[in-house]
Chain A
Amino acid sequence: MTTMTDPPRESFRLSMLLYDSRYRSMTIQIIVLMGFMLGAAWLINNAVQNLAEAGKTFSFRFMSEPSGYDINQRLIDYSSRSTHARAAVVGILNTLLVALMGCIAATVLGVILGILRLSKNWMVSRLAAVYVEAMRNVPVLLWIVLTMAIMVEFMPTPREFRGEEPEARMYLFDSVAITNRGVYIPDPKFANGLGDIPVAISLRPEGCESYLEGGELADSCGLFQISLDLWLIIAVLLAGIFTAKLNVKRANRIQAATGERPNTLWVNLAVIILPTLAVLWYLGFYLEKPVFDRYNFKGGIYMRNSLIALWLALLLYTAAFIAEIVRAGILAIPKGQSEAAAALGLRQGKIMRLVILPQAWRVIFPPLISQFLNLTKNSSLAIGVGYMDVTGTLGGITLNQTGREMETVLLLMLVYLVISLSISSVMNAYNKRNALKER
């Protein structure tokens, strides 16, 4: 039936792999792949051989043995009897904590600086430029060490808060203490709280006996514990926000029907704040102030100087890069946009907020992701100030005490890889949703 004539039948010759453009690219790819695999095999074989020669085995069994060391900052229960694996998790959480705090603060500061740098006020824009150039052209490790040195050398020691006539004073009604070991702030507590719930008791049953019999809950029970109080407050808060949104919808409907918009502000504030306050009152919310005791302050939340130094340095450094990204993003929006907005009678601030930034955001976002990744990876410089992130626990003390360089370094890389890939996949998904849809 076909009207096409068959192409002339040609027998396949070996030289066609190279000279026939139909096969050539395939040939090249296969050769490259083979070369790559040979190289990989050689490297792996070399490592295995040399490890064997040095008498080292490759095993992760050490991860389930007691670590033997203490970690100062831990977001989950941990003691020197816990395993190396748990020490690694404590480190990962510390990494995530400083990365999260850093990313949020760096974005806020970066956006402000980026806008300031475009200010028409010569002084302001020059100052912003000086800041950006100074911060981003000095290695971040130096900023971290410098911040730490300033904290350690110039803040008062906790001992200076001692006695009737202390040399140093606390701030905000004696509730905040800034020392050279860190900052103590009040800790929110609940007098008749609902307590905590242990998760995955079967995985870490130590200390659960009394809890299972209806008694007190020990800190070491369960893989981790969640605070019921916190979840209750978050739930009430979210419910309030949801109700407020319904209220706004209702107002929109009335406005569309009658042209008059009922006032929503007070109702919204009331539905969000009042139930939350009621829950706080019910739980017996109070702030526990830090109090000096023999060597250090007791009570309150202790933000260690290592955390603050690392966080500050990372945020100030990354903010400089973000400022440039924001500036570029804003400059990418055609001038006509702001002129048109001005012609509509919008003021400078509103033009920026309502017209320029929403469009610039799309340009800013993709490079912003890589800055977030940079900040997260830079947090591994924490060891410079003794912050116990995952490089400090798994890649530091665990590596050293067990002597398993290969295993711990591979694990460490895997951890950073997973963290980075998760951040970038979440951010990319968000970016895709917000990117300009062209048809």
Chain B
Amino acid sequence: MKKSVFLGALTIAGLAATASVASTLDDVKARGKLNCGVSTGLVGFAAPDANGRWNGFDVAVCRAVAAAVLGDSDAVNFVPTTGKTRFTALASGEVDMLARNTTWTFTRDVDLKFEFVGVNYYDGQGFMVPKSLGVSSAKELDGATVCIQTGTTTELNLADYFRSNNMSYEPVPIETNAEAQQQFLAGACDTLTTDASGLAATRAAFENPDDFVVLPEIISKEPLGPLVRHGDNQWGDIVRWVLNGLISAEELGITSANVDELAKGTNNPEINRMLGTEGNLGEMLGLDKEWLIRAIKVSGNYGEIFEANIGEKTPLGLSRGLNAQWTEGGLIYSPPFR
């Protein structure tokens, strides 16, 4: 029995790994669909709407990549992944890329053999508590029961934070965001901790968002961004430069509304290079000239995507803060298209 179990595991590992041999770009083109790993449902970032259509800040990245590569922003299979399953899904080739509130860390980049193509949201871990608890600072949480999503950096930050502040806590590990919400609302934990953006999204989905507050402390750096597997640099470049393209588009004032107009040619050479009227950047990536035009047309540039999904006019009400363009005092910055 021991042997058969062992072999079974090897078979699974073997089968899983064989999938990742050919070039991802060829795979995606042959399939005609992009497999994109997203979260299991986080309003504003990735969640299906009433018609079952996936929408959100992370979803927009998937759609932009699909539009650039396949010419169709709907040619995406959205694969919901939990904090625990996401890396296995990517490493085994089940998904071509992950766009799922994933923090860029050293071990994930180096040891887990992934390639973070950039940062699309600068975040940090926070705490949400019911107002009735009467807590105004995370420093007052000594002895509290804390709901955490298991398999995330959150877990490690939390352990470090409480340890360095000499406080004790009771962790309640939870698999998905939905379960975390349910336990938190039922009072099975005093506080819910995850990235501050995730807290805002969760709070926005509550029946009475005003009964809850997000505490001011941010206890970690969480640069979130899309990632691909190590080893396929061409595919990594495509995802990276689609993201950079969306960011540069905002900086240069290219929007979903004026992209067609600008694609006829402008006197800004960088815009011309991005939109394919000058140079052959698209070909270098293994795509055609209009790749970025299509990507921008899907849901606009980085700023448009931000405002439509998580910005101040949405229920999440997140301000740009760190995620403003570098020209406006933020950290969002794309290398030049040259």
Contact = CB atoms under 8 A, between A and B. Distances in A.
Interface of A: 39-40, 43-44, 46-47, 50-51, 53-56, 68-72, 79-81, 152-153, 157-159, 180-181, 293-296, 298, 305-306, 383-384, 386, 388, 392, 396-397, 399-403, 405-406, 409-410, 413, 417
25 contacts: A40-B7, A43-B7, A50-B13, A54-B20, A55-B230, A70-B158, A70-B171, A79-B163, A80-B159, A80-B163, A152-B188, A294-B144, A296-B144, A386-B172, A396-B150, A397-B151, A400-B84, A401-B107, A401-B155, A401-B156, A403-B107, A403-B111, A405-B88, A406-B9, A410-B6
B13 A51 contact: yes
Contacts of A396: 84, 150-151, 173
Interface stretch (B58-66, B179-187, B194-202): B179-187
Interface string B149-185: 0110001101110110000011111110000001100
A211 B132 CA distance: 45
Given A296-B145, A386-B150, A403-B107, A40 B3 contact: yes
A413 B9 contact: yes
A50 B17 contact: yes
Contact of A305 (B1, B18, B83, B188): B188
B171 A72 contact: yes
Given A50-B14, A296-B145, A403 B112 contact: yes
B188 to A, nearest CB: 5
Size range of the chain B interface in the assembly:
35 or more
A266 B263 CA distance: 101
B204 to A, nearest CB: 23
B187 A159 contact: yes
Contact of A152 (B11, B163, B186): B186
Contact of A180 (B18, B155, B188): B188
B91 interface: yes
Given A80-B160, A153-B186, A157-B188, 6 more contacts: A43-B7, A50-B14, A152-B186, A158-B187, A383-B175, A397-B155
A294 B182 CA distance: 22
Contacts of A50: 13-14, 16-18
Q: Is the interface of A mostly helix, strand, loop or mixed?
A: helix
Given A50-B13, A152-B186, A305-B188, A72 B3 contact: no
B259 to A, nearest CB: 38
A419 B330 CA distance: 55
A54 B91 contact: yes
Given A386-B174, A400-B84, A47 B17 contact: yes
B113 A54 contact: yes
A401 to B, nearest CB: 7
Nearest to B132: A159
4 nearest A-B pairs in the assembled complex, by CB-CB distance: A50-B17, A157-B187, A80-B159, A46-B14
Contact of B187 (A71, A180, A293, A397): A180
B87 interface: yes
A296 B170 contact: yes
Nearest to A413: B5
Contacts of B30: none
B231 interface: yes
A405 B173 contact: no
B11 A295 contact: no
Contact of A53 (B7, B17, B84, B158): B17
B188 A417 contact: no
Contacts of B186: 152-153, 157, 180
B171 A71 contact: yes
Contacts of A54: 17, 20, 91, 113, 231
B109 to A, nearest CB: 11
B5 A417 contact: yes
Contacts of A158: 187
A181 B145 contact: yes
Contact of B113 (A55, A400, A417): A55
A400 B111 contact: no
A405 B182 CA distance: 30
A396 B173 CA distance: 10
A417 B1 contact: yes
Nearest to B144: A295
Contacts of B142: 294
B190 interface: yes
